[in-house]
A and B are shown apart, each in its own frame.
Chain A
Amino acid sequence: MGKVVLGKFTYVDDVEEAIDELLKAGYNKKDIQFISSFPIEDIIDKLGGTDSPVKFPVLVGGLTGFSAAIALVLVTSLAYVLPVGGKPVVAWIPYVIVMFEMTVLLGSIFNLLGVILLSRLPDIFFFLGWRAYLPSFSDDKFGIAVYTDKIDEVVSIFKKNNVEEVREYEV
């Protein structure tokens, strides 16, 4: 069991300064969570960059779809040969369409699975109400959740940056 301190803020500059101070005080980026109803690139960047490994499942999915399409068209062409008007039995140009569509299809499916798994969704603990979260974060407030045992230090950083509400959770 660990502890989480959750702060509620109204202003973006207060959030930025609080995160800067937390990082300066030695808190790990992984232990700090910024919560907002829309993405704020500057803050996301501070806490680990805007790049995401979701590109890897997309690549794997795209390649899988492409390979599966090649296998599908080859097997269907060669397993039952239908020679028509002297045209080639394995004709690559018409097959490009099938390959493209299956690359996109599998790439997209893996993309969806990738984003869901990397974001650790569905979040069972959230359904059970065990996550540090306030409904106003999906409205007009911003949140910072810090996973730490040094409660007083975090609260003092929050207060210094005009926090409106602080809550403590056991997770």
Chain B
Amino acid sequence: MKVDASGQKVISVDIHEGMSPEAREYGRQFTYSEISEEIWRASQKPSLAYFLALGFCIGGVLLGVGTFAYMVIDGMGVVGFTPPIFWVHFIVNFVFWVGIAHSGTLISAVLHLFRSKWRRGIFRIAEAMTVFAVLTAGLFPLIHIGRQWYFYWLVPYPNRGMWVNFKSALMWDFVAVLTYLTVSVMFFYIGMIPDLATFRDKAKGIRKFIYSLLSLGWKGTDKEWRHYNRSYMFFAAFATPLVISVHSVVSLDFASGVIPGWQSTIFPPYFVAGAIFSGMAMVVTIVTPLRKLMKLEKFITDWHYDHMGKIILVTGLIVTYSYVVEFVLALFSGNIYEYQQFVYRAVGHYSGPFWGMVICNCVVPLFMISKKVRTNVWLMFVLSIFVNIGMWLERFNIIMISLSHDFLPYAFDVYRMKWPEWAMTFAAFCWFFMWFLLFAKFFPVISVAETKELVPKPFRKGGEHHG
């Protein structure tokens, strides 16, 4: 507490310090009790729509399990392998889901370091998305290895004559994705401890017991907060370069290869921007029905959509720029293999997915230049689905078209996905949303503690005190 020249205690603080008018307006609409109560209520008895959605997702996962079993029994030939095109849809899905995973850490870590206030309404959802998206991505290397019972050969240790080679991009990928998953889970968990304590104090019976265990006896003392805040900051500082490194490494799986359309130095920044672009679009896709289903409209407002729209717009422009650079470099490189690859993308067998990608990733985000569009929740939802489709097509185009049309015409072939690929792609989405729905039922989907920080502090002497 400050003391003025006359010795009088000065309690009031500058209400404009560190907070935008939108953030202050957002904070003013709540009381502390209301925040705890509303977020707790959202995890209570769910609606029929929730159970229908969960049942649908579980059905999709079972379809995927059945298809996978069929593939293991009958062999990898049941999927559309056409030499030289192998593993296409598995790798497409892997890269797509790893990309989706990135936005969670971006919102959580990068925006935390920038002291951004709007992240508070959605960062928990984005973090959960990260964890579940990495879990989904992680399934695909296991699926495509063929002999799943040797999955542990992926682990870098010398086994049966195979020796780990840390100069290989695939080894970097393994180490990077494993690190990303571990750090994301820890970051997710530590951020949730204070909110789990709030749930513990409201719950009864078995739920109280489980929340008590998970919250580790957190009380919210000044000492706990001191260590917690500093630790959270370190997590954010670690996670920020990690976001950039992981998707750069994923892109190097391709860029360090010699296939036309892959060997390009623009891949790391292009992939990172694409990952944030698709991840942010997926946050919008998830948040929109979730806020309706759980009646959280008050917590996730136009303010959040406006900012998410801006990030999608900026990263969409970077992705568009990358497409243009990639094309121009190929057309003017003097390398006939690169040249034919990019011409083939635009006018060949797969021109449909290619132009679909261009429309979804380059044209659709431009609508978000308008604030009216960015603050129209359902319109943003529709646009975000287009972006998701566009980003899946982007992975498909990079991987599939390059493999199907490399150097020698005799090796060119046309690949068509068979039903097991479609089934497993569909199952991956169901798997991801199933975990999400289960998470939303049992855990705080919005940070109670961080939302409370936006509420003006109650002072007996009156005035508005944020910060």
Do A and B actually bind?
Answer: yes
Interface residues of A (CB under 8 A from B): 10-14, 16-17, 20, 33-44, 47-52, 54-55, 58, 72-73, 76-77, 80, 82, 87, 91, 94-95, 97-98, 100-102, 104-105, 107-109, 111-112, 114-116, 118-119, 121-127, 131, 133, 135-140, 145, 162
Q: Classify chain B: how many residues form its interface, as a range.
A: 35 or more
Cβ-defined partner of B219 (8 Å) among A91, A133, A139: A133
Q: A115-B190, A138-B220 are in contact. List 6 more A-B contacts (CB 8 A).
A: A17-B9, A38-B220, A40-B457, A48-B226, A108-B182, A119-B227
Interface residues of B (CB under 8 A from A): 1, 9, 11, 31-33, 36-37, 156, 158, 163-167, 171-172, 175-176, 178-179, 182-183, 186-187, 189-190, 194, 197-198, 200-202, 212, 216-231, 234-235, 238, 241-242, 245, 249, 448-450, 452-453, 457-461, 465, 467
On chain B, the residues within 8 Å of A102 by CB distance are 175, 179
Judged by DSSP, the binding face of B is: helix
On chain B, the residues within 8 Å of A95 by CB distance are 166-167
Q: Are A112 and B186 in contact (CB under 8 A)?
A: yes
Known: A13-B11, A101-B179, A121-B218. A52 touches B230 (CB 8 A): yes
Q: Are A101 and B175 in contact (CB under 8 A)?
A: yes
- Tell me how many residue pairs across A and B have CB atoms closer than 8 Å: 208
On chain A, the residues within 8 Å of B467 by CB distance are 41
On chain A, the residues within 8 Å of B172 by CB distance are 94, 97-98, 101
Cβ-defined partner of A111 (8 Å) among B178, B202, B231: B231
How far, in whole Å, are A13 and B190 apart by their CA atoms in the complex? 29
Q: Are A104 and B179 in contact (CB under 8 A)?
A: yes
What are 28 sample pairs from A and B whose C-beta atoms fall under 8 A apart?
Answer: A16-B1, A33-B221, A35-B221, A35-B222, A38-B194, A38-B450, A40-B457, A42-B1, A47-B222, A49-B226, A54-B230, A72-B156, A76-B163, A94-B167, A95-B167, A97-B176, A104-B241, A105-B178, A105-B179, A108-B182, A109-B186, A115-B230, A121-B216, A123-B218, A124-B217, A126-B217, A127-B217, A139-B37
Known: A13-B11, A42-B1, A76-B164. A131 touches B182 (CB 8 A): no
Closest CB-CB distance, A166 to chain B, in whole Å? 18
Q: Are B219 and A137 in contact (CB under 8 A)?
A: yes
How far, in whole Å, are A103 and B238 apart by their CA atoms in the complex? 9
How far, in whole Å, are A125 and B449 apart by their CA atoms in the complex? 24
Closest CB-CB distance, B181 to chain A, in whole Å? 10
How far, in whole Å, are A135 and B199 apart by their CA atoms in the complex? 10
Closest CB-CB distance, A38 to chain B, in whole Å? 4
On chain B, the residues within 8 Å of A162 by CB distance are 460
How far, in whole Å, are A77 and B457 apart by their CA atoms in the complex? 59
Closest CB-CB distance, A113 to chain B, in whole Å? 10
Q: Are A12 and B238 in contact (CB under 8 A)?
A: no
